[in-house]
Amino acid sequence: MTSGIADIGLIGLAVMGQNLALNIADHGHTIAVYNRTAEKTRGFIADCEKNEPSAARVIGTESLPEFVAAIKRPRKIVLLVKAGTATDQTIATLLPHLDPGDIVIDGGNAHWLDTIRREQELTAQGFSFIGSGVSGGETGARFGPSLMPGGSPEAWAELEPIWRDIAAKVDEQTGAPLEGAEPGKPLSGGVSCTAHIGANGAGHYVKMVHNGIEYIDMQLICEAYWLIKHLLGWEADAIGQVFADWNRGELSSYLIEITADILQQRDPSGDGFLVDKVLDTAGQKGTGQWTSTSALEQGVPANAMAEAVFSRALSALKDERVQAGDALHGPKLPIVNDAPALIASIRNALYCSKICAYAQGFQLMAEAQKTYGWRLDFGTIAQIWRGGCIIRANFLQKITDAYIRDPGLKNLMLDPYFRDALHSGQENWREVVALAVKSGLPVPAFGSALAYFDGYRSSRLPANLLQAQRDYFGAHTYERTDQPRGKFFHLDWPGDPRVQVEV
């Protein structure tokens, strides 16, 4: 049995686990690996020995006692297993083999409340627990993800050297992702896309919000594509070129880049373009729903992110939509003669909507930190999203700059850069939404983002009538504009004479 030579251990050798293990080994750290099925471990080790330059630093183990014994104390053990019950079961079988002071790191897409519970339970038993968001998919895991760890500062100090080594790197001056990592040849230099997020479940909460933003980012891009396709009648490759052009400007991002590639991909099984053959039903794994649910619970108006979740739900009703398409009719599509002007307007609509979507995400995190007692550094969060993760974009450097200018910024839309971008783009944004509505083309994300912008900038909203309605039918009380805030009244509405009383 190999004893106490591994710097870190990893349980769970699905695709993400394998790639993260290789990333760790590439950076000079010896790693012990274990999987519930020994055949999986043997296969992984055999592949490493054939194909991986860093294979000598990967130690395969076939039992938990062997696995734990192979790791230096205090042991650092990463779990990359299915979130939920499987994580709890893995922890339960692992703990009897550990010593006080050992650190368990959950790198799955765990619900933050589960992470808070696990951290409390393990701390009470003398162990440490870190819940770390890991974003970037299998490629990020292999060559550099964005890592969002939450837990005690002492546990983070033990994990930090490895997490900083394996995280994505960005240019210190521009924030642009550094690229070119190869197996056995990791990147050096740059700023690592990881930082201690906060206590207990903070890391997994921030990762969840990242995923909620990812949902709306993708939906906005899809709506832009759909408008160009139907209003201009262009083929997919021509639309892909538009996205390629956009990727050279303020919209530059990983999602815009891959959209350009996707739209220009020809169908390998026939004529035309692959995107036109892909079924229009979108899947989801639940983190977008968690984000929307948390926003409702926190009372944060994250309507655009919720619309992205509902859009996926609507797409799943494929058979019903086919039937409804025959029964329900909309307007005829207009003829658009000025293609460059329309594309410029859609670009403005996309950028303005993106600002609102991110504003909602950061507003949600700001409220959650009050609820859970965290102290989140929003400039740092934007920094570690600049590389490795799915939403990485030049745009995030602007968010980092905004929080450097004003660490107490209430809403991204109030930052001078984003305020000016919204002011200069809103006319085209409104025209695009209006044209889409008149044309019968659904743009729920564009529309809900615009409604958020208009609602947030309104010093008066029709909620005065709503409050009166609530008091009328349920005696829920109301406040008056000519009285101090926090002073409530009730009117005996059906009575005569009608008497207002202070409550």
Give the residue numbers marked as catalytic.
Answer: 207, 214
* Contact residues for 234 (Cβ-Cβ < 8 A; gap 6+): 228
Q: Whole-angstrom Cα distance, residue 12 to residue 20?
A: 10
Rg (CA), the chain: 26
**Rounded-to-integer distance, Cα 353 and Cα 304, Å:** 9
Phi first, then psi: what are they for 13, rounded to 5°? -110, 45
Residue-wise DSSP of 139-179? HHHHH--EEEEES-HHHHHHHHHHHHHHS-EE-TTT-PBP-
Contact between 259 and 221 (Cβ < 8 Å) = yes
Paired with 273 in beta bridges are: 266
Element (H, E) at 60: strand 58-60
Classify 184 in phi/psi space as left (phi over 0), alpha (psi -120 to 50) or beta.
left
Among 318, 349, 176, 361, residue whose Cα is nearest residue 246? 349
The Cα 6–Cα 70 span in angstroms is 6
> Which residue blocks in 233-377 are alpha helix, DSSP H?
236-246, 254-263, 287-298, 303-315, 318-327, 339-372
- Specify the length of the chain in residues: 503
| HEC per residue, 174-186 | CCCECCCCECCEC
